């Protein structure tokens, strides 16, 4: 099994203190063969991710790790853009000159409000439908490779509103996935939910099976870890989910080009 972690944050993200070299050391120790760092980034001054990353320092750290861990770990440079369907031309101007291998797109804010704030004074249906509508808008126009944690809202809504039922939102989820497939945008299995109160991956197997049924193939797997010790967390479980949903390959990226990697039986 070729273990790859395609969602990881370090101190180049506002919410992590992990050092890239230490993450790589732990990855090698766990037998991980490839890692893609995906630091948070936003051009929206109202978002908490705004203004944190220094791209020169980030590229330098990537290059240092690529050299230091050569022949032991493949290190790829990625980014997780918050709300990439907004400020599209501004993102293009900033990011196009940089040597990214991979771009995740995520919805962490709606109407310039964090998801926890957005939930206030709304019904359960308003919260989940509003979130999935925003994801649909993102996948319709954003220049991204993969949708990050496609059903992220459940992490924030779980305690106060409860988890959502797949069948209730199947129609809009199907619209999101059809649009993603049409635009050659993939989805990920994000294992972060397995490490908290949620106790399930993002997304669940239902969405994975629907994506596969609709003809989707572009699937990545990531821990969404913000610490060195948790690099690669729960990746074997994610590989098993991919197999259960009918996938025979997952993908890695190089210069934003998807490359299939066969899943071992």
pLDDT higher than 80, residue 100:
yes
Residue 128's domain is classified under what CATH number? 3.20.20.140
5 closest CA partner among 88, 18, 139, 56: 18
Q: How far apart are CA 213 and CA 157, in angstroms?
A: 28
Question: What pLDDT is stored for residue 265 in this prediction?
Answer: 59
**Helix pair angle (235-244, 205-213), 10° resolution:** 40
User: Six-digit token pair at 169?
Assistant: 């939102």
Give which of 114, 99, 105 is closest to 86, Cα–Cα: 105
The tens digit of pLDDT for each residue in 56-79 reads 999 999 999 999 999 999 999 999
Q: Which two tokens stand for residue 223?
A: 């821990």
Give the model confidence (pLDDT) of 7-48 as tens digits: 999 999 989 999 999 999 999 999 999 999 999 999 988 877
- Compute the residue count for the chain: 265
Q: What does the alpha-carbon distance between residue 143 and residue 146 come to, in Å, rounded to a whole number?
A: 10
For 172, residues 6+ apart whose C-beta sits below 8 A from its C-beta are 129, 132, 133, 136
Q: Which helix (H) or strand (E) holds 4?
A: strand 4-8
Residue 84: which domain range?
Answer: 4-262
The CA dihedral of 47, 53, 59, 61, to the nearest 10 degrees, is: -120
Parallel, antiparallel or unpaired: strands 219-222 and 186-190 = parallel
Instruction: Match 């180049």 to its residue by tokens.
Output: 12
* CA gap 199, 193 in Å, rounded: 6
Give the number of domains in the chain: 1
- Helix ranges (DSSP H) in 30-152: 55-68, 88-95, 115-118, 124-141
CA distance 78 to 3: 17
pTM of the predicted protein model:
0.96
pLDDT tens for each residue of 208-222? 999 999 999 999 999
Q: Measuring CA to CA, which residue among 259, 252, 260, 256 is closest to residue 99? A: 256
**Is the per-residue pLDDT at 169 higher than 80?**
yes
What average pLDDT does the segment 256-260 reach?
98
Give 153-180 as a DSSP string: HHHHHTTTT-PPPGGGGHHHHHHHHHHH
């Amino acid at each position: 099994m070729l273990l790859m972690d395609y969602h990881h944050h370090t101190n180049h993200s506002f919410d992590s203190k992990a050092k890239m070299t230490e993450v790589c050391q732990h990855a090698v120790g766990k037998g991980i063969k490839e890692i893609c760092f995906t630091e948070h980034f936003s051009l929206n001054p109202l978002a908490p991710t705004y203004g944190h990353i220094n791209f020169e320092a980030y590229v330098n750290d990537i290059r240092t790790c690529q050299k230091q861990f050569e022949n032991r770990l493949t290190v790829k440079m990625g980014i997780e853009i918050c709300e990439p369907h907004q400020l599209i031309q501004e993102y293009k101007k900033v990011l196009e000159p940089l040597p990214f291998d991979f771009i995740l797109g995520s919805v962490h804010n709606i109407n310039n409000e964090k998801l926890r704030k957005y939930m206030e004074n709304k019904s359960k249906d308003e919260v989940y439908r509003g979130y999935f509508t925003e994801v649909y808008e993102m996948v319709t126009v954003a220049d991204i490779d993969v949708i990050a944690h496609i059903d992220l809202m459940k992490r924030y809504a779980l305690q106060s509103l409860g988890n959502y039922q797949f069948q209730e939102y199947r129609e809009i989820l199907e619209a999101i996935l059809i649009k993603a497939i049409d635009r050659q945008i993939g989805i990920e299995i994000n294992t972060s939910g397995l490490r908290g109160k949620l106790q399930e991956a993002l997304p669940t197997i239902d969405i994975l099976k629907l994506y596969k049924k609709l003809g989707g193939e572009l699937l990545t797997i990531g821990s969404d870890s913000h610490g060195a010790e948790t690099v690669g967390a729960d990746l074997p479980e994610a590989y098993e989910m991919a197999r259960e949903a009918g996938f025979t390959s997952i993908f890695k990226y190089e210069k934003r080009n998807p490359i299939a990697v066969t899943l071992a039986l």
